[in-house]
Structure 1
């Protein structure tokens, strides 16, 4: 038991260090494609891998860590005006991040005793779900938070026709980022998780 706890603490410390690098070192965790819009982030990949290795509760806590970092970044060094407006809201910063950590862990538990090919499909699904959960919840919570002040936010997201519903503008502006993140995370997650799971079994 003590050996397992030590192993888990070491893995957690490693992932926290990696996540801090992704957050604060330019072009590692946040890759900006369209000026003025939130960057594509590789953070969901790290969250998905950690949750699949450590389980849903640990994944949710790691997601909370991500959300707190998002909040801090929004106040200290926002990369664009949209990120500043969105992630200075504690609910938009934290709730999608926590759910993005919880869900892949739950999917991992669901597939853990399946055959190899099915299990690998589960890992890919967990990766995609991590990114999509984050994107969908950010869009939904933003549409609620800015329901009565949507014009100003829409103005920063691009050239949308007057009267465009906020949720439609958010889907157009943020949906492409979310789709790219989901595909990337779905492909890479099983490639990394499978060998790490084998190593964890060996060191027990």
Structure 2
């Protein structure tokens, strides 16, 4: 990598990292609360996904780690709903899915159809990375919750038990998952192309 490329990567990861912190702590920016006592819809996954696309595995994972750490801190200091309060105080649930978002986005964009580098192919890969990256976070949060809280299912969802907790969480978070996936599919190619175009100049 050239000196200019290294400087670009450092600048972008700094900007995106600062953006994640702002998103995490400015109300209705990184977490959009639609219904009271309901988990907020996140927009921070967009920043992590774009980081994975533009910066690769290391950048995507680092930004995901930062997102996870802010989730963990917010769960202790400023949780806005019972689910966040209960789940995201667990470091595994708070951090691992967020890191995987960056890694999955980087893998999809940089490894799938590597020989296809046309603008259309890049757009398709960005859309795919945006959608799958968003769903990665939701599904891993649900999966880890089921693994770690199955014996305490009723604390998370009233009336739940170890056998149906996963399905109940998927149903409860369906609105969030769809909204976050749509955002990922729409916003990722717009911002991703802009940053990659700037990198080539």
Q: Does 1:141 align with 2:141?
A: no
Moved more, 123-132 or 103-112: 103-112
- Is 1:44 matched with 2:45? yes
- 1:8 Cα deviation from its structure 2 partner: 1.2
**Partners of 2:107 and 2:83 in 1: how far apart?**
31
After the TM superposition, which parts of structure 1 deviate over 3 Å for at least 4 consecutive aligned residues?
A: 160-164
SS of 1:55's equivalent in the other structure is: helix
**TM-score with structure 1 length normalisation?**
0.92
Cα deviation for residue 2 of structure 1 reads 2.4
Instruction: Summarize deviations over 1:62-106 as a string: whole Å, max 9, x none.
Output: 111111111011011111111010100111001101111100001
Q: Which runs of 5+ in 2 are unaligned?
A: none
Change (3 A) 1:199 1:147: same
Matched pairs, number: 198
Q: CA RMSD in A?
A: 1.6
Q: Which residue of 132, 154, 161 maps to 1:129?
A: 132
8 Å CA contact 1:37, 1:173 repeated in 2: no
Partner of 1:177 in structure 2? 176
1:108 aligns with 2:109: yes
What is the match of residue 58 of structure 1? Answer: 59
C-alpha distance in 2 between matches for 1:29 and 1:161: 29
* Counterpart position of 1:118: 121
SS of equivalent residue, structure 2 residue 151: coil
- The normalised TM-score by structure 2 is 0.93
- In structure 1, list runs of 5 or more residues that go unmatched: none
> Per the alignment, do residues 54 and 112 of structure 1 end up closer, same or farther by CA in structure 2, a change over 3 Å counting?
farther
Q: Does the CA-based 8 Å contact 1:112-1:119 persist in structure 2?
A: no
**Structure 2 counterparts to residues 15-26 of structure 1, below 5 A:** 15-26=16-27
What do the CA deviations read for 1:116-158 (whole angstroms, capped 9, x no partner)?
Answer: 2122110000001111000000001001111111112112xxx
What CA distance in whole angstroms lies between the structure 1 residues aligned with 2:162 and 2:89? Answer: 25
1:135–1:175: 8 Å Cα contact kept in structure 2?
A: no
How do 1:149-188 and structure 2 match up within 5 A? 149-155=152-158, 165-188=164-187
For 2:136 and 2:55, the matched residues in 1 are separated by 19
- CA deviations on 1:14-70 (whole Å, 9 max, x unpaired) are 111111110000011110112212100101111111110000222112111111111
